[in-house]
A and B are shown apart, each in its own frame.
Chain A
Amino acid sequence: MVLASLALMSQCTADREAVLRQQSEASLVLVQMLDGIEKLLDDPSRDLLTLSRAADFHDAIFWERSHLEAEATERSGDLRRFLAGFRAKAPQYRSLAYLTARRASEDTPWSVTVLECVPAPPCAGGGSFAEGLLATGRALLADPRTSEIGPFLPDERPAVSVRYATVVEEREGEGLRGEIGVLVVDLDLDAIAREMDRASRDSGAAVTLRDRDGVPLRALEPAPASAPVSAERISASSVALDPIRPGSPVHVGYASGRVLGATIPRFAPTRVRALGWSLSLALPPRRAHLPVLLFPGEIYLLTGALAIVVSAVCLWGLGWATRPLRDLAAAMGRTGEGDLRTEVDEGADDEIGRLARSFNHMVRALRESRAELASQLEESLRLKTTLENVIDSTPSAVVVVDRHGHVLQWNEAAERQTGRKRAAVLGTSLFTEVAELARYRASFERVLHEGVPIQGAREPYTIPGGETGIRRLSLFPVMSATGEVSGVVLSSEDVTQEERIERMMVHAEKMAMIGRLAANMAHEIKNPLAGILWNLHNLERRLHPASPVAHGRMLEAGLGPEAIERFARFLDAQKIPHYVAVIRECGLRADGIVKTLGDFSARGEKQVEADPRTLIESTLMLARAAFDLEKRNDFRDIDLAVEVDGEIPRIHCNVQRIEQVLLNLVNNAAQALFNRRQDEPSFAPRITFRVRGDDEHARIEVEDNGSGISPEAREHIFEPFFTTKEVGEGTGLGLSISYLIVTEGHGGRMWVEDGASGGARFVIELPVRHAVEGAA
């Protein structure tokens, strides 16, 4: 009866091969084993890469080579020690060898020699083993495409090792230029056999590893005690497994109706070129079939089958047999509903007992794998949260999109820069959804196809709220494990502040340079100017009879008073004294300009403590006096206001200099206002002073309600000789000197901005220097 139910279960299982493929214990064992073997096969590639880049490896090569070239008979042994040291840590390598290669020119073949091999080849000279090494080296160097790391399967059968080799660029040293080497390791197939052995012991399966031609590389059979099925039969059947279906990761089949096998065809580890190996195992049917019951769908089906069996058994009146089966059926029902705590009494060592044991074994395995899954899920959720926190904490806007431009990540800075919420853009197509980013589509495509990052230029953008900021956008490829571009990161850094500071620094630097240039020019101009004025002085004194010197010398030279008188009239008629006067006047004017230029470098003058309000008062007094003298315009026509905001700190300054600055600003403002009133008689001119301060600075603003300053003019307004005034109204030096007085002379700042009414607002910020305690 029980056998009948088992047969029924076998039948169900056989009909659901697809399910089996996914779920059978055989496939689990295979996959685990595959993982282990893949790792073993991958490791040499990684080790080769690491080794070929290791500095001490290159040191060892260098010393070995230097030694070899210096004294041909002795070896330094550095390379041997290095390779042996490495092999001691990685016993899975049967051997490690280093070959050097040189060639006369690009067209001649490589001449390859074995520089070192550990352990030493079996017989002196290396024999066929050494030949094999040289062949590997030559093969690798001959074909550039194979210069990547690759496994070379040895020709002999059965194989004992898999060979890996890589080209090593030798560090350039004296006499070593242009030579390269080949690093070779042989992975012991016994290491793979050990992995298979472990899996075989755990599952009781016979395991076979075949190469691409189906020739077994290793076949392991379970020890007789743990497997009652004949080893020969398992091996024979597993060979017969077929057909191998492409695309199916695990294949399960029968042989002789009694043995079930599973095979993984032609697997290829990720880092090595396709090996075309296959792995198969054979299990006794009961071990192969029973764990399949863990699949819920099957469990319902089998529960049904069991129920029928149980009913039949009840009808037959075999009460003793029904209880364990009933329990088992109930447990299977609960398990099918997801309750994994269920275990049944294993009872006696009969078929039902074995069934119960298998069931318990399966439930335990399920419970463990579910717990493991849960903890993995928790770990990955934790990672995801951490990653999101990191991305959100980045001040740059970070947006991650997949290959199709769909948004995968959108951090808080991206929300700030665009004003778009994460929830609204996640999963949407970035370049259609966020219009302002549409123009990056071409860059995105380039990053996607070329896999190289693009660093964007600085550009203005509109900050949500209307202000204009500057940002720098960069695009980086996201590389998948297989080395393909799986998406793109757009990172946008707000550099508004940085840009502003840079511009200020450039401006300050420019002004300082202009100041130095002006002072030097002033100095250079003074010599020729002195030459002009002084020689002119001598000319006048020695030429015109009106000068006692000239008159005396003319008498000495024998000229009579009448002739001298005539000569004087002649000179006057020729306007000679006038020319002399004009030249002197021009020279003196030039001298005046040169003196002003010299003000640029006026520094280190005496500074006293002053109240900014007093400075404004005295400036206004000076301004009124100056305008009264001109008579053309009445300063009283201007509405003057002084606004004081809060506590005003006293400043240390050169009072005359700061008054000069303020006076200059008031004059400029008044000039602009009067000019405007000429065109527009109803215009009501106004100048507003504003004073405020904190612990660090005192700030004085001079604002007019004129037509303001254009952005172009603002760029250059503090440069010498830049003027918007009519010719003759100013020298174009006033603001430059003011700027230098404030910045260089007082360590302050000065700039111009738009006033509230559209006029110009000049701002002076002077540092407050706290009085030294105890100073008199």
Chain B
Amino acid sequence: MSEGARILVVDDERAVREAVVDFLEDEGYGVASAACGADALELARAERFALCILDLRMPGMSGTELALELRALAPSTPLLIITGSPDFVPGKSLRAVGIGADDTLVKPYELATLAEKVRHRLGGEGAS
């Protein structure tokens, strides 16, 4: 596994989180993961990630709140928002609270789409 861009994955649903983590690892990225917003923030304070992928609907700190915090912590780190609500337009909603999500995905997307979006964000950097 090459040293390179590390990605933070935040999702409260274990089956989903693990699938995404393993998939990204297979794609050759270094991945850290968290099950809630508080853990995610702790990781983000200790390390500068190249990309954060976060679920919008989580218990405790919501994805929107987490997005705000992450943005404040590292303004240049792109955020990729995953949502389960078909009627929720994350970009719009996040802009409404003062941040722009860099990309969104609606569950259950094809993992190939995720790979594409990640590559696009990181410009191929770090992939094995």
Residue numbers in A under 8 Å from B26 (CB-CB): 538, 541-542, 549
Is A257 part of the binding interface, using a Cβ–Cβ cutoff of 8 Å? no
Residue numbers in A under 8 Å from B87 (CB-CB): 519, 598, 601-603
Is A554 part of the binding interface, using a Cβ–Cβ cutoff of 8 Å? no
Give, as a whole number of angstroms, the nearest-CB distance from B112 to chain A. Answer: 8
- In the complex, are the beta carbons of A528 and B15 less than 8 A apart? yes
Closest to A528 in B: B15
Is A530 part of the binding interface, using a Cβ–Cβ cutoff of 8 Å? yes
With A519-B87, A598-B87: A535-B15 Cβ-Cβ less than 8 Å = yes
Is A503 part of the binding interface, using a Cβ–Cβ cutoff of 8 Å? no
Residue numbers in B under 8 Å from A602 (CB-CB): 86-87
Give, as a whole number of angstroms, the nearest-CB distance from A605 to chain B. Answer: 10
Give, as a whole number of angstroms, the nearest-CB distance from A598 to chain B. Answer: 4
> Hey, what's the 0/1 contact readout for A571-590 against B, CB within 8 Å counting as 1?
00000000000000001000
Task: Count chain A residues whose beta carbon lies closer than 8 angstroms to a beta carbon of B.
Answer: 26
- In the complex, are the beta carbons of B86 and A534 less than 8 A apart? no
- In the complex, are the beta carbons of A529 and B107 less than 8 A apart? yes
- Which of B16, B20, B57, B109 has most chain A Cβ within 10 Å? B16
Is A526 part of the binding interface, using a Cβ–Cβ cutoff of 8 Å? yes
Is B111 part of the binding interface, using a Cβ–Cβ cutoff of 8 Å? yes
Is B39 part of the binding interface, using a Cβ–Cβ cutoff of 8 Å? no
Cα(A533)–Cα(B109), bound, Å: 9
Is A500 part of the binding interface, using a Cβ–Cβ cutoff of 8 Å? no
Find B84's partner among A527, A538, A542, A601 (CB 8 Å cutoff). Answer: A527
- In the complex, are the beta carbons of B85 and A523 less than 8 A apart? yes
Is B73 part of the binding interface, using a Cβ–Cβ cutoff of 8 Å? no
Is A537 part of the binding interface, using a Cβ–Cβ cutoff of 8 Å? yes
Residue numbers in B under 8 Å from A598 (CB-CB): 86-87
Closest to B12 in A: A527
Is A681 part of the binding interface, using a Cβ–Cβ cutoff of 8 Å? no
Cα(A526)–Cα(B18), bound, Å: 16
Cα(A522)–Cα(B22), bound, Å: 26
Give, as a whole number of angstroms, the nearest-CB distance from B115 to chain A. Answer: 10
Closest to A548 in B: B26
Cα(A713)–Cα(B109), bound, Å: 37
* A contact face: mostly helix, strand, loop, or mixed: helix
Is B108 part of the binding interface, using a Cβ–Cβ cutoff of 8 Å? yes
Closest to A601 in B: B87
Residue numbers in A under 8 Å from B22 (CB-CB): 538, 542
- In the complex, are the beta carbons of B15 and A531 less than 8 A apart? yes
Is B13 part of the binding interface, using a Cβ–Cβ cutoff of 8 Å? yes
- In the complex, are the beta carbons of B108 and A591 less than 8 A apart? yes
- In the complex, are the beta carbons of A527 and B19 less than 8 A apart? no
Cα(A529)–Cα(B57), bound, Å: 16
Find A535's partner among B18, B85, B86 (CB 8 Å cutoff). Answer: B18
Residue numbers in A under 8 Å from B20 (CB-CB): 534
Is A258 part of the binding interface, using a Cβ–Cβ cutoff of 8 Å? no
Give, as a whole number of angstroms, the nearest-CB distance from B93 to chain A. Answer: 14
Cα(A529)–Cα(B19), bound, Å: 12
Q: Which of B36-50 contact A (CB under 8 A)?
A: none
- In the complex, are the beta carbons of A535 and B107 less than 8 A apart? no
Is A233 part of the binding interface, using a Cβ–Cβ cutoff of 8 Å? no
Cα(A530)–Cα(B113), bound, Å: 13
- In the complex, are the beta carbons of B84 and A526 less than 8 A apart? yes
> Hey, what's the 0/1 contact readout for A497-532 against B, CB within 8 Å counting as 1?
000000000000000000000010011101111111
Residue numbers in A under 8 Å from B18 (CB-CB): 535
Is A420 part of the binding interface, using a Cβ–Cβ cutoff of 8 Å? no
Residue numbers in A under 8 Å from B108 (CB-CB): 526, 529-530, 533-534, 587, 591
Cα(A603)–Cα(B19), bound, Å: 32
Give, as a whole number of angstroms, the nearest-CB distance from A591 to chain B. Answer: 6
Binding site for A on B (CB under 8 A): 13, 15-16, 18-20, 22-23, 26, 57, 84-87, 107-109, 111
Apart from A522-B86, A534-B15: 10 A-B pairs, beta carbons within 8 A: A526-B107, A527-B84, A527-B107, A530-B19, A531-B13, A534-B19, A534-B23, A538-B26, A595-B86, A603-B87
For the complex of A and B, 10 pairs with smallest distance between CB atoms: A531-B15, A534-B19, A530-B108, A598-B86, A526-B84, A526-B107, A530-B107, A535-B19, A601-B87, A538-B22
What are 17 contact pairs spanning A and B, CB under 8 A?
A: A523-B57, A523-B85, A527-B15, A528-B15, A530-B108, A531-B13, A535-B19, A537-B111, A538-B19, A538-B23, A538-B26, A542-B22, A542-B26, A549-B26, A598-B87, A601-B87, A602-B86
